Structure 1
Amino acid sequence: MSPAVFLNDTTLRDGEQTAGVAFTTQEKIDIAEMLAFAGVPEIEAGTPAMGEEEIEVIRVIAGLGLDLRVIAWCRMTDGDLAAARASGAGAVNLSIPMSDLMLSKKLGIGRDEALSRIARHVAMARDAGFMVAVGGEDASRADPDHLARVAEVAAEAGAFRLRLADTVGILDPVTTANMVRRVVSTGGIEVEFHGHNDLGLATANSLAAVRAGARHISVTVNGIGERAGNAPLEELAVALGRLDGLETGIDWKQLPALSARVAAASGRSVPQGKPIVGSDVFSHESGIHVAALLKAPETYQGLDPAMLGRRHKLVVGKHSGTAALDHALERIGRQLEADVAPVLLALVRHHATKTKGPVSTADLQHLLTIAEGFCDLGPQESEASAPEDADCTMPAGEHQLHS
């Protein structure tokens, strides 16, 4: 079945434009293969105009026979189109500014000349055997009437898709939907949305674009890209399925490994709290949450981690309650006695505050031994015999149970 929404991954093109990121040929091949294995239907493999090395990488990727469409990104010039012919890509994204600001300041032309170039170069690319998409740079600052005219001209020339790019990341979901809906209503051409994350809205804007009629979304793995990056592949794939029930063809269980590979190749580590693929996004410490999760996972589960090949992780730390301590100790064959629980809880909180991190299994066992010894002594003996380096001091009030 064809996916309801096509995710066009541009990690190898726009993602590599992240300041300081440079993929090797083998890294690009690895990422392309992993994207195909994950079910991504399209990739922008690079920019042929960069030179022979880039052309060769695209040629190698195109020759792998991967089950995806390989696109070469080009400016709307004769030279870029000639370079694309040498790359072996089966499709091109011919980009040209949409806003008056960029047309005049960047290219020194007006709207009429832009429309003429679109008609000419789309036809040329079609004659060369390419599937052709038109990339509308800075569409978010363009006149809506001009965008509608671009859609008409591109469709008449034989392009199958028009990309509306929020190049400088200024849209919100409402303005995104308005822009996309206007172009979709012109008919005749499929619409793609390309969001940048300068205001932290790339995922939300991409969802709004889909709900307004766009059926193609541009993404990168981990959201890497220029400045604050692009809409993340992993977030869109899961959000579209989880919220809208839309099929993208992406195997969610491949996303963590894909994320890790791109993180290693880009030198950009994945934040622990990164949605979907962060190491801690299914971790729980709060006593109230953990106690409920142990009874019924759905109480604090908006997304089943098993769908990503992951599972919940219960962390022992400052905010843990007795239920978490009891569970953690039971897993290592230890038992938490009722009279020991408040002492251990205080020790755990003090240790977590001092170390600024979770309490390891080894540390928990050590703290349990201290707590049990503390409780075996009388009040006066325990105060007198507590070792100074045992982290067993209980600040006022911390002996209260918190579950």
Structure 2
Amino acid sequence: MAIKTLAAYEAGASRVHGSALGVGERVGNTPMDQLLVNCQLMGYIRRDLKKLGEYCQKSSQATAIAIPINYPVFGRDAFRTATGVHAAAVIKAFRKNDEYLANMVYSGVPAHEFGLEQVIEVGPMSGKSNVVFWLERRGIEVTEERVEKIFKTAKQSSSVLSDTEILALV
């Protein structure tokens, strides 16, 4: 819906409207968060939007409408990966202290501009670098034995391991 609102603006509309998460009496309301994200990315505005995710969460709670996990930018999975190749590229950028590259290598939206970050998980499609990075991020000593144990468990799993499951292996 944000694209239609942006098209109206570019065609000369002097005002545009949106609503929290696109919620309204009927369908077709522009989600305010998506409008703001796109306006920021297109250079129409320059604002600190790091609290926009909090706005989405509070809107979700107030309306009892869940944010889908695949919702753009603010869905749980927006900046999350457990796939080895994707994670390896993000990890490599982080290791070079290049936050911008880490945020942009597989995403058109820089997570850090919206108060978010890339999340590297461990699952059956992960490489060992996922495990090492996961441990390092939590200040847990990386040992070959520990990495192998977690990696083997992940490869035998049919889904991404939860933090609790990984910590139980540590």
Per the TM superposition, whether the score is higher than 0.5 is: yes
Query: Aligned pair 1:300/2:103, yes or no?
Result: no
Larger radius of gyration: 1
What SS is found at the alignment partner of 1:239?
A: helix
Alignment gaps of 5+ in structure 1: 1-201, 369-403
CA drift of 1:365 comes to 4.2
Q: Which amino acid aligns with 1:323?
A: S
1:301, 1:203 → 2: CA distance? 18
CA drift of 1:360 comes to 2.5
How does the TM-score come out when normalised to structure 1?
A: 0.36
Q: Could you tell me the percent identity over the aligned residues?
A: 28
2:58, 2:168 → 1: CA distance? 37
Query: Aligned pair 1:272/2:69, yes or no?
Result: yes
- Conserved in 1, the CA contact under 8 Å of 2:48 and 2:113? no
- Conserved in 2, the CA contact under 8 Å of 1:237 and 1:250? no
CA drift of 1:304 comes to 1.9
Query: Aligned pair 1:313/2:119, yes or no?
Result: yes
Query: Aligned pair 1:361/2:163, yes or no?
Result: yes
Alignment gaps of 5+ in structure 2: 94-101
- Conserved in 1, the CA contact under 8 Å of 2:49 and 2:114? yes
CA drift of 1:366 comes to 3.9
Aligned to 2:55: 258
2:24, 2:144 → 1: CA distance? 53
Aligned to 1:327: 133
Pair 1:361–1:269, CA change in 2 (3 A)? closer
- Conserved in 2, the CA contact under 8 Å of 1:222 and 1:234? yes
1:283, 1:359 → 2: CA distance? 13
Aligned to 1:337: 144
Q: Flag as ranges the 4+ runs of structure 1 deviating above 6 A.
A: none
CA drift of 1:227 comes to 4.0
How does the TM-score come out when normalised to structure 2?
A: 0.79
Q: Find the partner of 1:226 among 10, 19, 25.
A: 25
2:2, 2:37 → 1: CA distance? 11
1:323, 1:232 → 2: CA distance? 37
What SS is found at the alignment partner of 1:252?
A: coil
CA drift of 1:293 comes to 0.5
Aligned to 1:13: none
Aligned to 2:34: 235
Pair 1:344–1:262, CA change in 2 (3 A)? closer
2:134, 2:51 → 1: CA distance? 29
How far does the alpha carbon of each residue in 1:233-259 deviate from its partner, in whole angstroms, 9 at most, with x for none?
A: 11111102202x102x75412311211
For residues 57-206 of structure 1, the aligned pairs below 5 Å read: 202-206=1-5
Which protein has greater RCO, CA pairs closer than 8 Å, 6+ apart?
2
